Amino acid sequence: MPERTQARLLVADKSQPDFLFTLNPSKVTRTRAPAYADIPIARGDSWATTATPQMQWTRNPPEDIGIDFVLYNGNQDADDVERELDHLDALMARSSRSGEPSDLVFIFGRADRVRITGKTVDEAFRRPDGRVAKATVQLRMRTLRARGKGA
């Protein structure tokens, strides 16, 4: 059985409660692609087509983070899964203070200030009363600051 690891999303300004969840399996995908620009060179069009173009680093854009986790509660009397899905929606909602979604801090081994850029929910099954009993959630987030110097 894969190891289960606790992760947390908290609102930076503490306006909402933390969202605690278990990553199963404990996997986070981080994508970061430094930006480069081609350097035009005089008479560059006379080079052979196999010549390596000159390029210069311009910046390190923020990371995109992807996580998958399962929300499940086998207790027929509880509505924890729907409550947790509502909590995620609240983390994505527009703040009355700024007019934008709140900055979040994603904590999983390290802390990153992020915003949720996408959420996909697959409802695996429902209870007889129609409430969600199990949901697989995919979250996509973007860091608000690039890591490293010269970002």
pLDDT at 80 over 60: yes
23-70 pLDDT per residue, tens:
776 678 889 888 888 877 655 555 555 556 678 888 888 999 999 998
Distance CA 20, CA 101 (A): 19
List own/partner pairs for 117-122 with CB under 8 A and 24 or more apart: 117/64, 117/141, 117/142, 119/88, 119/92, 121/85
Q: How confident is the model at residue 148 (pLDDT cuts 50, 70, 90)?
A: low
64: enclosing H helix or E strand = strand 64-72
Closest of 112, 111, 115 to residue 141, by C-alpha? 115
10-18 long-range contacts, CB within 8 A, separation 24+: 10/104, 10/105, 10/107, 11/91, 11/102, 11/103, 11/104, 11/105, 12/102, 12/103, 12/104, 12/105, 12/113, 13/97, 13/102, 13/103, 15/95, 15/97, 15/102, 16/87, 16/90, 16/91, 16/102, 17/87
107 neighbors 7 (Cβ within 8 angstroms): yes
pLDDT band at 119 (very low <50, low <70, confident <90, very high): very high
The pLDDT, as a whole number, for residue 139 is 94
Global pTM reads: 0.74
| Residue reference for tokens 């390596």 | 52
Confidence of residue 151 (pLDDT cuts 50, 70, 90): very low
